[in-house]
Structure 1
Amino acid sequence: MGRKPIALRRPRGAAEILSAAVVALALTVLALRAASTMVDALEDLWPFLLVLVLLAGAIGAWRIVRSVRGRRRDEVRLAVLRIMLAELDAMDNRQFEYALRDLLIRDGWVARRVGGGGDQAADVIGDHPTRGRIVVQAKHTRVGGKVGASVMYGVKGTAGPVHRADHAVVVTNGSFTRDAMAWGDLHRVHWVDRDRLLRWAESGAAVHEFLGLSAKLCRARFWRAV
């Protein structure tokens, strides 16, 4: 059987009260001595503690400065970003998507890569203060490879309903079939082939300028209209 819990009771009689008072006094004295010892120890250690605090503050400030400088370097780099077609050709699919993201950022879009499993025909999404949201489907292929109309169908089906986009763009380092270009032009799914990619990546033309992307529309009305 387990032990019964110890039951505390109030002291009874003068002797018990006196004993309890002595114990309480002893505990108080011990607590005061411990506090005094701690204070004395802190007085001896305060220069060391001050150094630790200053060091921690300096490390935190250095990290903030490094982060700010890193962002500024990235901004400067992206502002003058140029990517040669040969570099784009040598990339894998993932690198190609990040390159398109960086080009959008250069052009003033707040862009992020979202490509991967279940991306629903969106590899990069960008937002612009006046032009709304753009969805980019990246198709990295061998030089001379062609993108068919089926890709246009997929982008058209998800850009507005799923991603709430104002503009849909398919980008390839290859080319498009005639049917793909014609269908895209008819249904406002923009396309960037190798020649247009040259203007965008190498020459520095802004994507919304050479594609003629207007200010954002009412998305529901836009996608119903086409």
Structure 2
Amino acid sequence: MLARTAAVVGQVVMRAWLLLAAALAIGAGWTAWRMLRAARRQRIRAKMVARLRYTLDELDAMDDRQFEFALRDLLIRDGFHARQVGQKGDQGADVIAQDRHYGRMVVQAKHTTVAARVGSRVMYELKGTAGPVHQAHTAVLVTNGTITRDAKAWGERHDIHWVDRTRLGQWATEGTPLHQLLRLPRRTRRNRRTASCAVGTGR
């Protein structure tokens, strides 16, 4: 009787060890797969960045519409689903982009050939339409010119992101992804369920 009990216990212990070993092997395999996938993404991104870079001189030489398409392409390079929508009556949206980690983004493009400065008025307009009209989680003003100090300060107080000439060079020429450049937070499952972000809603 004792021998039979010992044999049963031994089989149970052996099965437990086998299950544990299998679980560890699966865990190690999952980790290795994720590392390989991350490395593959990095290689793909490096190739995409190498293929798509704009110098500031190239961006300066574009017209307004070409500039909007260039911003769209840069967002696509960064992994967003993006489209150019700028036209008369666009209500502050020249490019709209979507990403499962960062939500919906509306981009207002301000192209200049005379090194113009963008003031606070553009920030006010973008704040007023980004959330209510375009249901955006993030609003970004992008210019190849400069942005006034007051406009930058107002934007930072009201969650309107900005990309001036310096940041544009980091994004377009050096290849820094826009979400990293702006330090955008990744959206959680909880706030993905919300209808819209605080941009333009007054929350």
Please give the TM-score of this superposition, normalised by the length of structure 2.
0.70
Runs of 4 or more consecutive aligned structure 1 residues displaced over 6 Å after TM superposition? none
C-alpha distance after superposition, 1:172-221 (max 9, x if no partner): 00000111100000001000000000000000000000101112343545
The alignment partner of 1:185 has SS state of helix
C-alpha distance after superposition, 1:54-111 (max 9, x if no partner): xxxxxxxxxxxxxxxxxxxxxx767731011000000000000000000000000000
Does 1:82 find its partner at 2:53? Answer: yes
Corresponding residue of 1:222: 198
The alignment partner of 2:198 has SS state of helix
Retained in 2: the 8 A contact 1:149–1:179? yes
Does 1:172 find its partner at 2:172? Answer: no
The alignment partner of 1:208 has SS state of helix
Higher helix share: 1
**Distance in 1 separating the partners of 2:51 and 2:130:** 29
Equivalent in 45, 65, 71 of residue 100 of structure 1: 71
Retained in 1: the 8 A contact 2:111–2:144? yes
For residue 99 of structure 1, what is the amino acid of its counterpart? Answer: A
Corresponding residue of 1:145: 116
Please give the TM-score of this superposition, normalised by the length of structure 1.
0.63
Corresponding residue of 1:120: 91
C-alpha distance after superposition, 1:19-64 (max 9, x if no partner): xxxxxxxxxxxxxxxxxxxxxxxxxxxxxxxxxxxxxxxxxxxxxx
**Distance in 2 separating the partners of 1:220 and 1:88:** 32
Equivalent in 60, 82, 88 of residue 111 of structure 1: 82
Corresponding residue of 2:152: 181
The alignment partner of 1:222 has SS state of coil
Equivalent in 107, 129, 154 of residue 100 of structure 2: 129
Corresponding residue of 2:11: none
Larger radius of gyration: 1
For residue 141 of structure 1, what is the amino acid of its counterpart? Answer: T
**Distance in 2 separating the partners of 1:210 and 1:221:** 20
Answer 1 or 2: higher relative contact order, Cα 8 Å, separation at least 6: 2
**Distance in 2 separating the partners of 1:109 and 1:221:** 18
Equivalent in 195, 200, 205 of residue 176 of structure 2: 205
Q: CA RMSD in A?
A: 1.7
**Distance in 2 separating the partners of 1:211 and 1:148:** 19
Paired residues in the alignment total: 151
Equivalent in 128, 133, 137 of residue 162 of structure 1: 133
Retained in 1: the 8 A contact 2:135–2:197? no
**Distance in 1 separating the partners of 2:177 and 2:158:** 22
Equivalent in 144, 162, 166 of residue 191 of structure 1: 162
